[in-house]
């Protein structure tokens, strides 16, 4: 089972983490400093080169304007002008296989009971399938907010109409779709210009927005933990700046940032107000303990530079794991990693193994709590505390389970979350096993 999980989710990591960087290749790499008018002396030249090498070049992303009546230019419309980027983008069709997490990890049927993910929960595949997949999940989709990161047409709708677009009928938006996840998400209609078209990310980062590399912001537009605001149903992030962009503060926001604690659903047989974590790659990659934050971007590892048959150098838009890109491994990763594949496999074994172990343990506690509620053996105050502890345990556990790096993006943060989940489980066990 674990081998199947690693295979399915490693591919998911490559596809999901990098979805937001479409078009990074077309001239959006770090800008170079223009040559000086007069060449300095040799010593000054060496000093300048040393300083330039040690000082990162900070870029800022463009933020899409609202209310401009923007019209989507489909990915296929750029095929002639950017043939290499478009050809590799369409290679994502090759990633067509889907694995059922509900079958690979049966305990999920208990933990997600009463929510859409207990109906269908499949591994990620190529971004060219995202519209097809969201329409075929079998989960109930009442509003268009489910399309937030699935189609450029939804992105344009929100830019043009504001938050009202999120509460559109799902089927009404379906009829407007002309482009799945395409170039528009990260470039609007300007190839080569990295543009944040999902304003909720800009709003959530606030004053820290300009401190994050555009190539990472592009991914973070979609690969982040979000919720739908209770009043507007708008896609919203649970933090305001990098300081509160961590699992602890995000859980506190869900607990205290509303008139009553926010929840995605109430599990009927336990009464637990559960949260469903989405795919917090952005928060994990930039989180405390990350070995690469501030040094690399998502694109550096998952969208390598390559050459076309005519010798043209471009950025590959076929989103894969760096382990599947030998050219990248040899040219970049080998500088720090003697055997990256072995390192990643070891991390996956540690994190996935423990995640499965704790998932099964949490599901068993879920069943035991349901039995306890049915028996009425706990007082209301003590029962509410157990419910709160269960909510916290599942939050921290799910933060790791759904993060598609499986620990490879930030093993320290993943371990810390699993430690927190286990700590809450121990508190629950102490009460339920009396």
Q: What is the 3-state secondary structure (H, E, C) of the chain?
A: CHHHHHHHHHHHHHHHHCHHHCCCCCCCCCCCCCCCCCCCCHHHHHHHHHHHHHCCCCCCCEECCCCCCCCCCCHHHHCCCCHHHHHHHHHHHHCCCCCEHHHHCCCHHHHCCCCHHHCCCECCCCHHHHHHHHHCCCCCCCEHHHHCCCCHHHHHHHHHHHHHHHHCEHHHHHCCCCCCCCCHHHHCCCCCCCEECCHHHHHHHHHHHHHCCHHHHHHHCCCCCEEECCCCCCEEECCCCHHHCCHHHHHHHHHHCCCCCCCCEECCCCCCEECCCCCCHHHHHCCCCCCCECCECHHHHHCCEEECCCCCEEECCCCCCHHHCHHHHHHCHHHCCCCHHHHHHHHHHHHHHHHHHHHHHHHHHHHHHHHHHHHCCCCHHHHHHHHHHHHHHHHHHHHHHCCCCCCCCCHHHHHHHHHHHHHHHHHHHHHHCC
Across residues 301-330, what is the average pLDDT? Answer: 88
Predicted confidence at residue 304, as pLDDT, reads 80
Percent of the chain with pLDDT over 90: 73
Q: Tokens 């996840």 correspond to what residue?
A: 181
Predicted confidence at residue 331, as pLDDT, reads 85
Alpha carbon of 301 to those of 136, 170, 321, 349: distances in Å? Answer: 31, 35, 8, 21
Q: Tokens 């089972």 correspond to what residue?
A: 1
Calpha distance 166→171 (Å, rounded): 12
For residue 119, pLDDT beyond 80: yes
Which pLDDT band, with edges at 50, 70 and 90, does 43 fall under? very low
Mind listing the pLDDT tens digit for each residue in 235-252?
999 999 999 999 999 999
For residue 29, pLDDT beyond 80: no
Burial class (CB in 10 A: 0-12, 13-18, 19+), 231: exposed
CATH class of 2-23+59-285: mainly alpha
Which pLDDT band, with edges at 50, 70 and 90, does 39 fall under? very low
Predicted confidence at residue 424, as pLDDT, reads 98
Which pLDDT band, with edges at 50, 70 and 90, does 192 fall under? confident
Predicted confidence at residue 138, as pLDDT, reads 87
For residue 65, pLDDT beyond 70: yes
Burial class (CB in 10 A: 0-12, 13-18, 19+), 10: buried
Q: Please state the domain extents for the chain.
A: 2-23+59-285
Could you tell me which of 188, 217, 190 has the C-alpha nearest to residue 203?
217
Which pLDDT band, with edges at 50, 70 and 90, does 262 fall under? very high
Which pLDDT band, with edges at 50, 70 and 90, does 140 fall under? confident
Mind listing the pLDDT tens digit for each residue in 327-369?
888 888 888 999 999 999 999 999 999 999 999 999 999 999 9
**Mean pLDDT of the residues in the chain:** 87
Predicted confidence at residue 181, as pLDDT, reads 86
Predicted confidence at residue 47, as pLDDT, reads 41
Predicted confidence at residue 54, as pLDDT, reads 36
Across residues 214-239, what is the average pLDDT? Answer: 96
For residue 55, pLDDT beyond 90: no
Which pLDDT band, with edges at 50, 70 and 90, does 157 fall under? very high
Count of CA atoms in the C-beta half-sphere (13 A) of 165: 20
For residue 24, pLDDT beyond 70: no
């Amino acid at each position: 089972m674990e081998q199947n999980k690693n295979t399915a989710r490693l591919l998911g990591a490559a596809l999901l983490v990098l979805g937001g960087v479409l078009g990074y290749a077309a001239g959006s790499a770090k800008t170079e400093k223009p040559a000086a008018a007069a060449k300095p002396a040799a010593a000054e030249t060496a000093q300048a080169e040393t300083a330039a090498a040690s000082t990162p070049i900070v870029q800022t992303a463009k933020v899409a304007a609202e209310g401009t009546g923007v019209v989507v230019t489909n990915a296929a419309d750029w095929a002639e002008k950017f043939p290499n980027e478009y050809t590799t983008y369409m290679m994502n069709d090759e990633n067509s296989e889907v694995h059922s997490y509900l079958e690979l990890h049966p305990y999920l049927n208990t933990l997600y009971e009463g929510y859409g993910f207990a109906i269908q929960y499949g591994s990620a595949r190529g971004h060219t399938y995202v519209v097809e997949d969201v329409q075929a999940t079998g989960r109930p989709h009442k509003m268009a907010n489910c399309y937030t990161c699935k189609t450029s047409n939804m992105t344009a709708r929100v830019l043009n109409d504001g938050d009202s677009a999120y509460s559109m009928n799902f089927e009404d938006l379906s009829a407007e779709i002309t482009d799945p996840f395409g170039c528009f998400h990260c470039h609007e209609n300007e190839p080569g210009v990295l543009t944040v078209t999902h304003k909720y990310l800009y709003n959530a980062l606030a004053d820290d927005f300009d401190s994050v590399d555009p190539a990472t912001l592009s991914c973070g537009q979609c690969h982040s933990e979000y919720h739908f605001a209770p009043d507007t149903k708008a896609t919203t992030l649970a933090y305001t700046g990098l300081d509160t962009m961590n699992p602890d503060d995000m859980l506190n926001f869900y607990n205290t940032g509303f008139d009553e604690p926010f929840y995605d659903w109430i599990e009927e047989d336990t009464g637990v107000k559960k949260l469903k974590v989405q795919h917090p790659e952005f928060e994990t990659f930039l989180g405390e303990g990350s070995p690469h934050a501030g040094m690399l971007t998502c694109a550096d590892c998952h969208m390598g530079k390559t050459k076309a048959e005519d010798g043209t150098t471009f950025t590959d838009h076929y989103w894969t794991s760096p382990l599947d890109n030998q050219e990248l491994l040899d040219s970049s990763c080998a500088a720090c990693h003697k055997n990256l594949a072995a390192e990643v496999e070891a991390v996956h074994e540690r994190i996935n193994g423990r995640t499965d172990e704790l998932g099964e343990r949490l599901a068993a506690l879920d069943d035991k709590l349901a039995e306890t509620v049915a028996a009425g053996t706990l007082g209301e105050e003590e029962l509410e505390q157990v419910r709160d502890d269960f909510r916290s345990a599942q939050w921290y556990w799910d933060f790791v389970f759904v993060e598609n790096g499986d620990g490879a993006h930030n093993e320290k943060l993943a371990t810390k979350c699993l430690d927190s989940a286990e700590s809450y489980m121990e508190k629950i066990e102490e009460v339920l096993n009396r």
